């Protein structure tokens, strides 16, 4: 029989994993010895966090990130074809959301390998459901363009779609959060609603939805925070 591909969530930046990761998921993760990971060091650190005695030296790790040659990815699933279970380990939150794992999941389906998603935190979904915006019709836009001209064009496009009733979710790297906020306040209409959700599930979590006109009166400091934005 073929093994399965488990999609393993991790905390959103906190070492208090037991508050956001179900015990059943932790126990499943502890049983695995083959992992597909984005970054080896953080994967090893997480496994040792959930179990100080985790036998890392007896594990196999495959690296899957933007530098992985496309021709090598399918080989990562060979152990599953031979009957061994594999864990796809996210860097933060759930695999395959703002994460490079979707390609290997697609290959698993073509090979007839069972894909098993394990429950855990997603900053994207948690931001949406706490924003007060449309949870039945939404779009996740990922990261907005870094070039100013392209970013302006993208913001105008997603605001237009937001005004038609589709909640628009996007995110940015922590060091560019403030620039994105400045662009939103400059480009968007005053009556457009914006939710800024930062450091979700962490002690310093902040989630607030206001109109652009209100945000202009009290601009938050977002640099170095883990932020998700929702526009409608």
Q: Whole-number mean pLDDT of the chain?
A: 94
What does the alpha-carbon distance between residue 96 and residue 89 come to, in Å, rounded to a whole number?
A: 10
Out of 3.20.20.120, 1.10.10.10, 3.30.950.10, 3.40.630.30, the CATH code matching 123-231 is 3.30.950.10
Q: For the chain, give every domain's residue range.
A: 4-117, 123-231
Q: How far apart are CA 229 and CA 84, in angstroms?
A: 39
For 112, left (φ over 0), alpha (ψ -120 to 50), or beta? Answer: left
224 pLDDT band, cuts 50/70/90, is: confident
Specify the residue for token string 């933007």. 66
Give residue for tokens 């935190």: 121
At 67 the pLDDT is: 85
If one counts every other C-beta atom within 10 angstroms of the C-beta of residue 40, the result is 12
CA–CA separation, 65 and 199 (whole Å): 24
Residues in the chain: 232
Average pLDDT over residues 197-219: 95
Which CATH number is associated with domain 4-117? 3.40.1010.10
Band of residue 71 on the pLDDT scale cut at 50, 70, 90: confident
Chain segment 141-179, per-residue pLDDT in tens: 999 998 889 999 999 999 999 999 999 999 988 899 999
Q: Does the pTM of the predicted model rise above 0.85? A: yes
Question: How would you class 75 by CB atoms within 10 Å of its CB: exposed for 0-12, middle for 13-18, buried for 19 or more?
Answer: exposed
Beta bridge partners of 229: 170, 196
pLDDT at 210 over 90: yes
Element (H, E) at 193: strand 193-198
């Amino acid at each position: 029989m073929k093994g399965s591909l488990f999609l393993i969530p991790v905390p959103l930046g906190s070492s208090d994993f037991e508050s956001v990761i179900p015990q059943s998921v932790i126990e499943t993760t502890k049983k695995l010895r083959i992992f597909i990971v984005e970054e080896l060091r953080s994967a090893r650190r997480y496994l040792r966090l959930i179990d100080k005695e985790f036998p890392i030296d007896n594990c196999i790790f495959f690296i899957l990130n933007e530098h992985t040659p496309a021709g090598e990815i399918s080989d990562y699933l060979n152990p599953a074809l031979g009957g061994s279970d594999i864990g796809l380990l996210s860097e933060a939150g759930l695999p395959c959301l703002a994460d490079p794992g979707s390609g290997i999941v697609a290959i698993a389906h073509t090979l007839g390998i069972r894909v098993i998603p394990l429950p855990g935190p997603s900053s994207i979904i948690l931001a949406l459901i706490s924003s007060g915006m449309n949870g039945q019709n939404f779009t996740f836009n990922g990261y907005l363009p870094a070039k100013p001209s392209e970013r302006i064009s993208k913001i105008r496009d997603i605001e237009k779609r937001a005004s038609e009733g589709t909640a628009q979710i996007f995110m940015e790297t922590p060091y560019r959060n403030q620039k994105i906020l400045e662009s939103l306040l400059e480009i968007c209409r005053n009556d457009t609603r914006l939710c800024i959700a930062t450091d979700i599930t962490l002690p310093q979590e902040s989630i607030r939805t206001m109109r652009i006109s209100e945000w202009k009166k009290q601009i938050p400091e977002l640099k170095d925070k883990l932020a998700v934005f929702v526009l409608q």
